Structure 1
Amino acid sequence: MASSPTVSEKTISDDDEIDYSVKPEFYDSELDAKDELWVHKKRNGVVSDAVLSCPACFTTLCLESQRHEKIVTQYRAVFVENCEIKNEEVVQVQSDKKLPKRKRGKNGFEAVEIGKVKPVCCSVCSTRVGVIDEDEVYHFFEVIPSEV
C-alpha cells in the first residue's frame, strides 16, 4: 500500500511558479537614485557628517548631524525625526572638563558640556539614543551613523 506524500513532498518550488518573462511588480531599478534625490531634497543642500539611525530597530533619527570634535561617537542635531523626548525625566550632566577621559555621565551617556537635559528615545522602539538640552539641541550618543 502506497503512503500519501508528506507535506514537504507536496510543496512546489517557488521557481516553478514564477513567470520570468514578466517584469516583477515590486521591482524598481531606479529606486536608489530616487532615494538619494529624496534625501537631498529633505536636506535642502545642507551637508551632514552622518545620517543617524536607532541601534535597536535601525529607524532613521536624523538626516543632518554634526560629529563631536573630540568624541567621534557623539553627534548633535537640531532637526530630527522619529524621536521622543521624555519630558517627565530631567538629567543633570556635568561638564566633560571636570571628568576624566571617557567617564560616563548619568544614565550611561557620555558627559557633554551641557547642564540640565531630557532623555531622547526612538519613537518606534523606545531605545534611549541621547538627550536634548535647554537650547533644544539634540545630543546623540547611542546611534548608528551612516557616512554620507
Structure 2
Amino acid sequence: MASPTASQKTVSDDDEIDYSVKPEFYDPKLDNKDELWVQKERKDRDSDAVLTCPACFTTLCLECQRHEKYLTQYRAIFVVNCKIKINQVLRPSNQKPKTSNKRGRDRGGVDEVGVSTKETFKPVCCVVCSTEVGVIDDDEIYHFFNVLPSES
C-alpha cells in the first residue's frame, strides 16, 4: 500500500486553535446594539410583530398591525427587503368557490397590468429568496399572509 500524498493527509486544525482567546465573532453587547437600532427605526411606535420571510428569515417589516379576524395576517405601510411584482395583478374572485377547488385556495385571477377593476393587488416577494409573502393594494398598504411573526 502506497503512503498518502500531501493532499490526502488529514490535518487537524484543533492543534492550531488558541482557546484562551475569545472568538472574534462573539460580542456580548450585540443584543443591546440591535435593540437600540430597532427602537431608532420604529421611532417609539408600537408594532404587533416583527415579520420575517418563512424561507430565509430575512426581516420584512418592523412595524405592522395584526388582522382582527385572520390572526395570521398582518398589514403594514413601511417594509424592508420586499419587492413588488409589477407585471402581475391579482383580483379577488367575486364568484363562489368552485366545487373542484376543495381547499379554497383561489386568490383570484392573474392578469397583465392595465386591467381595471375596483380592487386589485400585486404580489409582494422577499428580495433575498423571492418567496411570495403577501400583496400590496391600490392604497399602497402591504398585506402579509405568508410570514413568520415574532414578538416585537
TM-score using structure 1 length: 0.80
How large is the Cα RMSD of the aligned pairs? 2.7
Deviation at 1:12, TM superposition (A): 3.6
Task: Write out per-residue CA displacement over residues 79-111 of structure 1, whole angstroms, 9 at most, x where no aligned residue.
Answer: 00111111111111258xx88xx944426xxxx
**Count of aligned residue pairs for this structure pair:** 138
Equivalent positions of 1:18-33 (< 5 A) are: 18-33=17-32
What residue in structure 1 maps to residue 124 of structure 2?
120
What residue in structure 1 maps to residue 39 of structure 2?
40
* 1:43/1:64 contact within 8 Å kept: yes
- Establish whether residue 58 from structure 1 lines up as the match of residue 57 from structure 2: yes
Of stretches 127-136 and 22-31 in structure 1, the one that deviates more from structure 2 is 22-31
Q: Distance in 1 between matches of 2:35 and 2:129?
A: 26
**1:106 counterpart SS class:** coil
Q: Distance in 2 between matches of 1:56 and 1:73?
A: 16
Deviation at 1:26, TM superposition (A): 2.4
Match of 1:147 among 131, 141, 151: 151
What residue in structure 2 maps to residue 106 of structure 1?
107
Runs of 4+ deviating beyond 4 Å = none
* 1:62/1:79 contact within 8 Å kept: yes
Which sections of structure 1, spanning at least 5 residues, go unmatched?
108-113
What residue in structure 2 maps to residue 14 of structure 1?
13
Task: Write out per-residue CA displacement over residues 65-89 of structure 1, whole angstroms, 9 at most, x where no aligned residue.
Answer: 1110011110000000111111111
* Pair 6,70 (structure 1): closer, same or farther in 2 beyond 3 Å: farther
What residue in structure 1 maps to residue 114 of structure 2?
none
Of stretches 128-137 and 21-30 in structure 1, the one that deviates more from structure 2 is 21-30
TM-score using structure 2 length: 0.78
* 1:68/1:76 contact within 8 Å kept: yes
AA at the equivalent of 2:129: C
Sequence identity percentage: 67
Q: Distance in 2 between matches of 1:31 and 1:116?
A: 42
**2:135 counterpart SS class:** strand
Q: Distance in 1 between matches of 2:35 and 2:5?
A: 48
